[in-house]
Structure 1
C-alpha cells in the first residue's frame, strides 16, 4: 500500500501542509499548475504585536498570465533580508528561536534560488528535515502529465505506484472520484480540523499562520500539535 498526495508548492506553508506530507509515502509538488496571484504560492503570514503580517516573495507576473508555478521567477533579492529580519523581529522571544534560526537563516542568506518553485521546495524540505518527516518529495515534472484535471492526478498516482490518493478537501469542487475508482486507486479526503492550540506569542490563537510559528514556539515538540508527524 502506497499513499500519495499532490499539492502545489506554497511559501513556508502552515502546519496542515506538513501534516499531509507526513501522512503519505510520496508527496508530489504540483508545480506544473498555473501560478495564481494573491495566493499561498509566494506568501504566508506570521504573528506580530500588531496582528498578522504577510511575508510576500515578489515575483515577475507582468504579461505572464498563464505561467506555471515552476516557470515563475522571483523579482530581485532584497526581499530575503526583509523576510528574515521580520521573522527575527517578531519571534526573538520565542523559546526555540535560536534553534530554528540556526538552520533557517542560511537559507535566506546564501544562494537563494531565482525561481519560486525551487525556493519553496528548499524551505519545505528543510522543515521536513527538522521535523524528521521522511516522506519522499518529488515534482509533477518528474512524471508524464495527462490532460484533464482529475485524469492528470490519476495519471500521477499511477506512475508513482499509488494505491491510495489523499487529497485536500478543497479539491472536492472539481475531482471526479470515478476516475480513481476506475484506476483502482482509493480516494481519501484529508481532514484539517481538530488541531489543538499551542503557546503562541502576540494575542489570540491563529491556526493558519506559517509553520515557522509552531516551530519557534514548540521546537521539535511541534509533533504534539500535529497528527501525523511522529
Structure 2
C-alpha cells in the first residue's frame, strides 16, 4: 500500500494532486512545527497577475514568545480583510478565464470557511478539489496519529502506523531520503516522478508552470484537469 505524506498547502500546484492521485493513503502532515512567517507553501501559492507570476499570500498570526507553531495551530490574521483582498485579485486576474465561474465557487469555499486555522481551510479545500476531480483516496491527519518522532523517522513511523508498505517521496527527494532507514523498516520507496503538463493559459503569452491548480481549473476546467492528472497516473497502485 502506497502512502504519500505532505503538509497541507494553500491552493497547491498540480504536482500536489498528482501525488494524492498516485497514493492509496494520503497523510496531511499538519502537526509539525513551522514558523508562521516563513511557512511558505502553507500560506502562499502562485497565480498569474498581469501576465506574470504572482505570490498570493495569507498573513498568519504569531504568538508572543514563540517562533514556531504547529501547523494545525496557525491562524489567519484578519480573515475578512484577507477575503476581500484575495477575491478582488482573483476577479481582476481571472474574470475573463474560460472556466472562471466553475472555479470561483471553490475559491469562495476557502474564504467562507468558519475556521480561522489555515490548516483547516487548506485541508477542506484540497478535499473539495479532490472530490471535484474524482480523486478517491483515503486521507489521514498526522495530528490524529500521535507520533512524536521527526525527520525520516517520522515518515517511517507514519507509514508503519497506518499499515503502509511503500512511501512515496516527491521527485525532488531522490538522494535526500535515507533509503537504508526505510529498507531496515521494511518500507519500500516509490518516487513520484511528476511531469508537469502544458495547458492553455488565457492571460500569458508563454506557459508558466508550477502555479496553483486554480490556474489550471480556470483555464481548462474541472473535466480536462481531471484528464490531465489521470493521464499521468502510474499503473496499478
Same fold, TM-score > 0.5, yes or no? yes
Please give the root-mean-square deviation of Cα atoms over the aligned residues, in Å. 1.9
Separation in 2, partners of 1:121, 1:40: 13
What is the match of residue 187 of structure 2? 185
In structure 2, the partner of 1:10 is 9
Shift of 1:172: 4.3
Partners of 2:55 and 2:196 lie apart in 1 by 22
Q: Does 1:91 align with 2:94?
A: yes
Identify which of 123, 129, 133 aligns with 2:135: 133
Kept after mapping to 2: 8 A contact 1:144/1:156: no
**Conserved in 2, the CA contact under 8 Å of 1:20 and 1:228?**
no
Which residue of 88, 105, 110 corresponds with 1:107?
110
| CA deviation after TM superposition for structure 1 residue 67, in Å | 1.1
**Equivalent residue, structure 1, for 2:233:** 228
What's the offset of the Cα at 1:136?
A: 1.3
1:38 & 1:51 partners in 2: Cα distance?
23
Segments of 5+ residues of structure 1 without an aligned counterpart are none
Choose 92-101 or 206-215, whichever is displaced more: 92-101
Alpha-carbon distance, 1:173 to partner: 6.0
The number of aligned residues is: 226
The 3 A distance-change label for structure 1 pair 217 and 161 is same
Give 3-state SS (helix, strand or coil) of 1:41's partner: helix
Inter-partner Cα distance in structure 2 for 1:184 and 1:14: 31
